[in-house]
Amino acid sequence: MTSPLSKTATGRNSSMFSGDLTEVDKTIRDAVQGARILAVGAAGSIGSNTVHTLVKYAPKALHVVDQNENALAELVRELRSSPEGLNVDDFRTLPLDYGSAATKLLMTADGPYDRILNFAAIKHVRSEKDPFSILQMLDTNIVKQARLRRWIAETSPNADYFSVSTDKAANPVSFMGATKRIMEHVLFDGAREAGMSGKITTARFANVAYSNGSLLQSFENRLLRGEPLASPLNIDRYFVSLQESGHICTLASIIPPHAHIAIPRLDPKEHLVPLQQVAEAFLAYHGLEPEFFEDERAACTSVERCRAKGKYPLLLTPANTAGEKPYEEFVGKRETTAEIGLPNMLAVPYAGVHQGSMSEVLARLDKVVAGEDKASGSKDAIKEIIGSIEPDFMESHIESKLNLDQRV
């Protein structure tokens, strides 16, 4: 069920993909029922909601890998406490790094799997503030992705493989978006030659309302702690609910053809929402009116005074931090869309690598993330490596000396 709070961002009372799921129920059931599934990085918001959706179709085995032990424990409690129960013969959670030797040994010992889904990611634009954070982003979003693809080819070559991307991969302006764009190349480029015969798909996401670590989740935390809300000015975003995120991944992992990128059918005129508007709707949901501030310290010291009047401080900040795109889009330059038979979902056929060699870039990035390359400590040098495969990024990247660590 969609949380009533989600409506403050999505404007919807229920999942826009419920009808899509009903329409292709037999196709999903045929793909999932009795299947052996490995879900990587699946204890977070998107992964756990996808797991909640998949268990309804009775897979034979479902192994969930994630480094967050607490989140894995909570996922088990949620699944076993649901009215439907946990209808999976072999359900396991494993607190593993998805790029570690332990994960490869798991795949070797318990494979082959029929379906593999990957949700692991460094997802915050703010992570481009220094070269060291970027190295971790490169490692998680690209290098380990390539490693996992290699292990799938070795242990489960016939498996269908799905990995989550982001709308920020379309015409990327941030390092996070650029690494996810390269991740898409890792998924598709040379997959058949590498020995993978199963279908490979991904999905570019909208923002998931009130997901772990999101700006909207911070609204809830700040209200509980008595801290001001903060929102950038002139930033528009698409939103889906937590439940919708699980529905998107379930559909995107099964319905589109090989080498397609699923995207929600969202209209920029209808569904792009200013973040300030969401902050105001959140306060209204809690019976409060915003009192606007431009000064951070003034906002922080005015919480009790505002509350006494039925108001709450909302700090409005300029949109001038690194990598911050003013609006979102799902389709990049040189890309087209294709119908896949769903009312609320389209797909972007993979358009291929337009410049450079993915094998050369991956070989270089292996050394960069290991600290064995002169580019390892240089943001500009890392940008040049990305630009060798995504040349538009050299011009489109939004650089700034400011980052979100310098904001409330």
Encode pLDDT of 32-79 as tens digits: 999 999 999 999 999 999 999 999 999 999 999 999 999 999 999 999
Rounded mean pLDDT of the chain?
96
pLDDT of residue 1: 58
pLDDT in tens, 80-98: 999 988 989 999 999 999 9
Domain boundaries of the chain, sorted by first residue? 16-209+239-270+328-408
Question: Which H helix or E strand runs over 70?
Answer: helix 69-81
pLDDT in tens, 359-376: 999 999 999 999 999 999
> Residue length, the chain?
408
Query: Taking residues 377-383, what's their average pLDDT?
Result: 96
Q: In the chain, what are the helix, strand and coil shares in percent, each to the nearest 5?
A: 45, 15, 40
**Residues above pLDDT 70, as percent of the chain:** 100
> Quick one: 16-209+239-270+328-408 is in which CATH superfamily?
NAD(P)-binding Rossmann-like Domain (3.40.50.720)
pLDDT of residue 84: 86
Q: What is the dihedral of CA 236, 237, 238, 244, to 10 degrees?
A: -150
pLDDT of residue 13: 94
pLDDT of residue 244: 97
Q: Comparing C-alpha atoms, which of 156, 315, 132, 349 is closest to residue 228? A: 315
Q: Among all chains, which residue has been given the structure tokens 């279908």?
A: 199
**pLDDT tops 70 at residue 221:** yes
pLDDT in tens, 297-330: 999 999 999 999 999 999 999 999 999 999 999 9
Query: Taking residues 176-199, what's their average pLDDT?
Result: 95
pLDDT in tens, 119-144: 999 988 888 989 999 999 999 999 99
pLDDT of residue 85: 87
> pTM (2 decimals)?
0.96
d(C-alpha 400, C-alpha 63), whole Å: 42
With cut-offs at 50, 70 and 90, classify the pLDDT of residue 407: confident
d(C-alpha 8, C-alpha 130), whole Å: 34
**Residues above pLDDT 90, as percent of the chain:** 92
What is the identity of the amino acid at 46?
A: I
